Structure 1
Amino acid sequence: MRNLTKNVGKTNMQNDFILVDKSEIKRVLICRPNGRLGNLLLITPLVQEVSEMFPNCKIDLFVKGTLAPIIFEKYDTVDKIIHLPKKPFKSLIAYSKVWISLKKTPYDLAINVDQNSSSGRLAVQFSNAKYKFFGDSNDEIAEKKSDFEHIAKYPVYNFRNYLAKLRLPTSSNKIIAPLDLKLTASEISEGRKILGELTNNDKRTICIFTYATGAKCLSEEWWEKFYSQLTAEYKNYNIIEILPVENVSQIGFKAPTFYSKDIREIGSVIANADLFIGADSGIMHLSSAVHTPTIGLFSVSNLKKYEPYDNCSVGIDVNLYTKKEYIKTINSILSSGTLNIYSRAI
């Protein structure tokens, strides 16, 4: 499918289009036909960018699965969530209706997030939007931006470049927004209450997440050693394990645990922690999205592409780090005085 669709939109460069008035853009389609928690959270910086650039617009999201309505629940500019069935050949009628709806809705601008997404490119092409951006990268920008490889950032850089081609003034050097779940004050308060019931003390808290899918999941042996190190070094901290939906633990449930299937509830608990430590996973990105300082543990994933950023967050290659380096990094974050922006707001 990638080979079949890689040239979709290549001949539609729209060099003759000039966007004079930003208010002309009233309805936008953003295409990221993926249903994973991490991948959906990673488009929140682009959604924020589009909302800021076109403050009077409404955004429809073309995705998969059922998580998007939960993630974008508090985004006022997000209007409709259009999602493809997980198994299209078993839901052909529903699948067809989704594509027909893209054609019928009068969009002013359609954006594909990932240039390698076949469905995303096709959705933009199939839409009747006047302005169509297929997500193609610009090599010149990639060379200039040291963080261009990051999956949450290059869609924003590429989109800014597209707007520049439309002769629309943009700030290419503006800092890209962090991931954001947009938790409410009441959600944060509820998370603080849950954390208080778990710990029953007023110590600061470190959250760990020991699970990840496939090869990204570090071994029980690795986590046992790391957990022993944490408990020895940080006796004045609560260490809470956030459990995955699979309800498994790489440390044999030795730490107090929190389990929930509610993404926003999990986020509200992590938002009240001083530090989150976990392997590359959707929950790691969730921690970033609630602005808790995050240490991402990478063993096989592309660190530059997926590492947490903002608010003292950092990605670590576990194949290169020593015991002393872990402690040094953790101490640096905990002593930085950085507070979660949600906590500052309450």
Structure 2
Amino acid sequence: MNSAPVPLPKRILVIKLRHHGDMLLTTPVINTLKQNWPQAEVDVLLYHETREMLSANPAIARLMTIDRQWKKQGAAVHLKHEWQLMQQLRARQYDVVINLADQWRSALATRWTGARIRLGFDFPKRRGALWRFCHTQLVPVTGHGKLHTVEQNLSLLEPLGNLQTSSQVTMSYNASDWEHVEGLLGQQAVPNDFIVVQPTSRWFFKCWTEAKMAATISALQASGYTLVLTSGPDKREQEMVANILAQCPEERVISLAGQLTLRQLAALIDHARLFIGVDSVPMHMAAALSTPCVALFGPSKLTFWRPWQVQGKVIWAGDYGTLPDPDDIDTKTDERYLDLIPVEVVINATKELLS
């Protein structure tokens, strides 16, 4: 692969069109670009619903968003939005585009910018003349099977030369985010050494059973700790939290389930003494914020998605039984694969970190 020093870029575009956690794990790429070219403006093209993961990040100049609701507004309106976005991208006159995505629309946007350096991955499913035409250089993905997603992302920067690499994941929020959360905690007289528990994920097959989570929370309540439960706004997630609370004593536990934005949740986690959670976006946020963490993990691909540089314990369900291949799982299943993890293992890990 050819690697040579790159002329000082004025503007750089990073493209990633995936879920919230994926966006958080792009921040080492953004940090590396800013560390090596602090004068450059770094923009990000992402899905509109994931923008809050990066909206307070001081290293980013602009967020360009694709709203997946456009297509519900009719073909003419949809095309108008897409054309306006393409014009905005072209007007920025990027020098470098880092296309971390694997969709055709990301490749076409990369080509449309006209940037003199356009990097993408040589995905096996995208090998062909059009994908090559959209990029000036493709980076092999051989070996990615043994790399964390952060490491995979950073590998796309190799053609830019011998850069100083930052592998730090960054979750940013504003002072107003914490002020809002602090007010909610004050209303319920929550002490400063609270524990955050995120028992839910958008995919329930990544969750522990309510009974086991309730048993863990009850044990910590009995030891005098105060716990704050959180979840996404989804009705099923909030019902799960209510079910857990119904099995716990009423003292020293409150619920903020469905009440916080992602940035407010980040502020809450950042001020917590400990985070306990399943494989979900908040787990990655806790690791990024260096909050001590007990992460219940499985059956996702541990190599790719374990909490990066986590301070704490990752408890993998595969150590306590047989898990299915992640690629074979029906994501709509009611199976709780984390149920393999014993309650006492989680309680002991939590108390060890609190000691």
TM-score, normalised by the number of residues in structure 1: 0.75
Aligned partner of 1:276 in structure 2 is 275
Q: Tell me whether 1:159 sits opposite 2:156 in the alignment.
A: yes
Q: How far off is 1:88 after superposition? A: 4.5
Sequence identity (%): 21
- Distance in 1 (CA, whole Å) between partners of 2:33 and 2:166 is 14
Quick one: which amino acid aligns to residue 333 of structure 1?
A: L
Deviation per residue, 1:224-280 (Å, 9 max, x gap): 343344434xx1211211132123315045431114242222221221111111111
Aligned partner of 1:81 in structure 2 is 63
- Within-5 A mapping of 1:312-323: 312-319=311-318, 320=320, 321-323=341-343
Q: Tell me whether 1:126 sits opposite 2:126 in the alignment.
A: no
Deviation per residue, 1:139-166 (Å, 9 max, x gap): 67659xxxx632233201x134222xxx
Number of positions where the alignment pairs a residue of Structure 1 with one of Structure 2: 301
More helix by share: 2
Aligned partner of 1:342 in structure 2 is none
- Distance in 2 (CA, whole Å) between partners of 1:79 and 1:150 is 27
Quick one: which amino acid aligns to residue 15 of structure 2?
A: C
Q: Tell me whether 1:177 sits opposite 2:168 in the alignment.
A: yes
Aligned 8 A contact 1:29 1:59 in 2: yes
Aligned partner of 2:346 in structure 1 is 326
Q: For residue 134 of structure 1, give the secondary structure of its aligned residue in structure 2.
A: strand
Quick one: which amino acid aligns to residue 330 of structure 1?
A: T
Q: How far off is 1:66 after superposition? A: 3.9
Aligned partner of 2:88 in structure 1 is 101
Provide structure 2 residue ranges, at least 5 long, that are not aligned to the other structure. 73-77, 123-138, 321-340
Residues 198 and 74 of structure 1: CA distance in aligned 2, closer, same or farther (over 3 Å): same
Q: Tell me whether 1:221 sits opposite 2:211 in the alignment.
A: yes
Aligned 8 A contact 1:312 1:333 in 2: no
Residues 85 and 183 of structure 1: CA distance in aligned 2, closer, same or farther (over 3 Å): closer
Q: How far off is 1:86 after superposition? A: 0.6
Q: For residue 96 of structure 1, give the secondary structure of its aligned residue in structure 2.
A: helix
Q: For residue 129 of structure 1, give the secondary structure of its aligned residue in structure 2.
A: coil
Aligned partner of 2:16 in structure 1 is 32
Deviation per residue, 1:277-298 (Å, 9 max, x gap): 1111222223334332222222
Provide structure 1 residue ranges, at least 5 long, that are not aligned to the other structure. 1-12, 336-346
Aligned 8 A contact 1:199 1:238 in 2: no
Write out the 4+ residue segments of structure 1 that deviate beyond 6 Å after TM superposition: none
Aligned 8 A contact 1:294 1:308 in 2: no
Aligned partner of 1:60 in structure 2 is 43
- Distance in 2 (CA, whole Å) between partners of 1:304 and 1:294 is 18
Q: Which moved more, 1:326-335 or 1:266-275?
A: 326-335
Q: How far off is 1:311 after superposition? A: 4.9
Q: For residue 156 of structure 2, give the secondary structure of its aligned residue in structure 1.
A: helix
